[in-house]
Amino acid sequence: MRGAGAGKVRVKTAKNRTAQSTRWLQRQLNDPYVKQAKAQGWRSRAAFKLMELDDKFGLLKGVRAVVDLGVAPGGWAQVVRKRAPQAKVVGIDLLPVDPIEGVVLLEMDFLDEAADAKLSEALGGDAPDLVISDMAANTVGHAQTDHLRTMGLVEAAVWFAVEHLKPGGAFVAKVFAGGTDKELLVTLKQNFTTVKHAKPPASRKGSSEWYVIAQGFKG
């Protein structure tokens, strides 16, 4: 097959796999970021995305308290610990996450009424100066549906940030093609001094994901 030549790893156990899962596995096996993440001890290739966003926007400079929404598997929380060792870090997820040194992990819905008290306790009463979210809804293969489901999560994350951030704080979240919905963009611009979109180099070229970066929370 043309273009499938040298250096490519083929999926040998494609039997009983769907075409989609075979393509995903093939992509993983040939992804340099996946290999780098494994070699460097990061839990996911997504760690490089946060590092690249931090390099560009200075997200982790001087932060004292960080909340990672949808923390599993933990790559972003690892980056925060590495680049901002002084910060208190809390990760929240419905899924169980293997322990990360220096990170308080809460296995719960961040919209749960009990989340606020647990978060406050974990941060020692401090308000976070950074809320990060690499969450995406489980995809169903229909672009518009997938976009709407993920934007629902982003909207929830935005309101979480608005309710919890300290003045001057920042918010970062994954969005998809089409960027941030107009209403959500209005909300962000009302509450933050700068709102930008970025696609870090580690984000796959064929992926429709982007990130929204809102800085200078007005409080």
Q: Any idea which residues carry the catalytic annotation?
A: 174
Tokens representing 17 are 């796999």
134, 46 in Cβ contact below 8 A?
Answer: yes
Residue 109 CB partners (closer than 8 Å, separation 6+): 92, 94, 115
Q: State the Cα–Cα distance between residues 7 and 99, nearest whole angstrom.
A: 35
User: Within a 10 A sphere around the Cβ of 55, how many other Cβ atoms?
Assistant: 12
Helix (H, G, I), strand (E, B) or coil at 54: helix
158, 213 in Cβ contact below 8 A?
Answer: no
- Strands 210-217, 192-198: pairing kind: antiparallel
